[in-house]
Chain A
Amino acid sequence: MAQIFHRSANFLARFSLLGAVVLGGLALTAVLVVARSPYITNERVSRNQPIQFSHKHHVGDEGIDCRYCHTSVESSAYAGIPPTRTCMNCHSVLFNNVGYLEPVRESYRTDQSIEWVKVHRLADYVYFNHSIHINKGIGCSSCHGSINQMPLVFQASPLTMSWCLDCHRNPQPNLRPRDQIFNMDWKAPADQEEAGKQLAAEYKLRTTTELTSCSTCHR
């Protein structure tokens, strides 16, 4: 009988089989990697805002406290986005005629809200509550990063569920004394391991099982 395939077919056949397996593997891995990439999590993606509001300037340079604008952060689930009036408290006097603040003044004049682009988008269905985190010694920068160095705010953490879980399973490394909560430059001290334990006790933190129960975050 005549030879059906050329000699090279042997290599091709084996190579393609192997290739298929390898490719499949790579594809799967790729999916998993992308799911964790900024493309999906929006981590470190900064957004253009209607007004080039610089947290760096207000927080870092002027040293304005977070709570001056995000008033309900200690009491409510929502930190709260400041109403135009809050801006005007200062800007009716300061820079009260610079062009780039016109949108603020306009909003105040016309009673039309400023539309900020949302930066932190939590996963669907999670019921996050700012106040309890603040009250239990989790500082702003633990999740939001060094806002005081961000001219334009970006999302500093992946905000994925497993990221949340990391801390809910072992909060100690992120616990701070109450007076450090709003300190953007807080760094864990050398003895954080020890301090963490003490703070956990002081704050009466709930057990890991309690903190990782589904209904702690999902309803």
Chain B
Amino acid sequence: MKEDRSQLFGVMGEFATPEHILSAAKQARAAGYKHITAYTPFPVEGLAHAIGFHWTAVPLLTLIGGLGGGLTGFGLQYWVAAITYPMNIGGRPLNSWPAFIPVTFELTVLGASIFAVVGMLALNKLPQPYHPVFNVERFARASTDRFFLCIEARDPKFDLAETSRFLQSVAAEHVSEVKDEG
């Protein structure tokens, strides 16, 4: 039996309802914890705010993607029709811009969507099949009906005993250590 080289990732409290975890998160925040994460089976309104997470870059990325797509779209069509090989197509003007709108639009949407999704995944650091929290046995229910609040070890205010006690104090049904194998 070799000694456990794994280091501590944090402690995790388990809650039964959105309401509980929400209040717990608020109190943790109040208690001055910085590195808090909440895990819930479905989005719980206000939870992100409660743990101090407000702004996300996804909308900005989407805008950029959209603009990029649209400009590429129209640019390409204009360049093809009017610059690189201008041809008389049924007497229509070289720059038949009304005819170029559909493709421009589609590419706008395409660009925006791709940026939105890829951006979201990237910002969420996904894919990330391995994560310490999965080491917690009960965490499996985080995707069914249980709500978890994790205070991470890197938090300056973190102290295993102290923090565990804190979590119990905010009515966590279970409190478990989160280990991270080396």
Binding site for B on A (CB under 8 A): 1-10, 13-14, 17, 165, 209, 212
Indicate with 1 or 0, residue by residue over B100-143, a CB within 8 angstroms of chain A CB atoms: 00000000000000000000000000011110001111111000
Q: Contact at A13–B127, with CB atoms within 8 Å?
A: yes
| A10 in complex: contacting residue of B85, B127, B181, CB < 8 Å | B127
Which partner residue on chain B sits nearest A1 by CB separation? B140
Q: Contact at B140–A6, with CB atoms within 8 Å?
A: no
Q: Contact at A10–B130, with CB atoms within 8 Å?
A: yes
Q: Contact at B130–A9, with CB atoms within 8 Å?
A: yes
Q: How many Å from the CB of A196 to the closest CB on chain B?
A: 22
**Most chain A Cβ neighbours within 10 Å, of B85, B128, B129, B136:** B129
Question: Which chain A positions have C-beta within 8 A of B135?
Answer: 2-3
Q: How many Å from the CB of B124 to the closest CB on chain A?
A: 12
Question: Which chain A positions have C-beta within 8 A of B127?
Answer: 10, 13-14, 17
Separation of A126 and B72 alpha carbons in the complex (Å): 33
| B130 in complex: contacting residue of A5, A17, A209, CB < 8 Å | A5
Separation of A3 and B135 alpha carbons in the complex (Å): 5
| A1 in complex: contacting residue of B88, B128, B129, B134, CB < 8 Å | B134
Separation of A54 and B53 alpha carbons in the complex (Å): 80
A-B contact count (CB 8 A): 36
- 6 interchain pairs, CB-CB under 8 A: A5-B130, A6-B130, A8-B130, A9-B130, A10-B129, A13-B128
Q: Contact at B181–A7, with CB atoms within 8 Å?
A: yes
Q: Contact at A1–B85, with CB atoms within 8 Å?
A: no
Separation of A21 and B70 alpha carbons in the complex (Å): 22
Separation of A15 and B65 alpha carbons in the complex (Å): 23
Question: Which chain A positions have C-beta within 8 A of B136?
Answer: 1
Indicate with 1 or 0, residue by residue over B45-64, a CB within 8 angstroms of chain A CB atoms: 00000000000000000000
Which partner residue on chain A sits nearest B127 by CB separation? A13
Question: Which chain A positions have C-beta within 8 A of B137?
Answer: 1-2
Q: Contact at B139–A5, with CB atoms within 8 Å?
A: no
Indicate with 1 or 0, residue by residue over B13-40, a CB within 8 angstroms of chain A CB atoms: 0000000000000000000000000000
Known: A7-B181, A212-B85. A1 touches B130 (CB 8 A): no
Q: How many Å from the CB of A109 to the closest CB on chain B?
A: 53
Which partner residue on chain A sits nearest B138 by CB separation? A1
Separation of A61 and B78 alpha carbons in the complex (Å): 52
Q: A3-B181, A13-B127 are in contact. List 15 more A-B contacts (CB 8 A).
A: A1-B134, A1-B140, A3-B130, A3-B134, A4-B129, A4-B134, A5-B129, A5-B130, A7-B181, A8-B130, A10-B128, A10-B129, A13-B129, A209-B86, A209-B88
Question: Which chain A positions have C-beta within 8 A of B181?
Answer: 3, 7
Separation of A17 and B125 alpha carbons in the complex (Å): 13
Separation of A16 and B181 alpha carbons in the complex (Å): 24
Separation of A9 and B138 alpha carbons in the complex (Å): 22
Question: Which chain B positions have C-beta within 8 A of A13?
Answer: 127-129
Q: How many Å from the CB of A41 to the closest CB on chain B?
A: 20
Separation of A13 and B128 alpha carbons in the complex (Å): 7
Separation of A17 and B121 alpha carbons in the complex (Å): 12
Separation of A13 and B130 alpha carbons in the complex (Å): 10
Separation of A17 and B88 alpha carbons in the complex (Å): 44
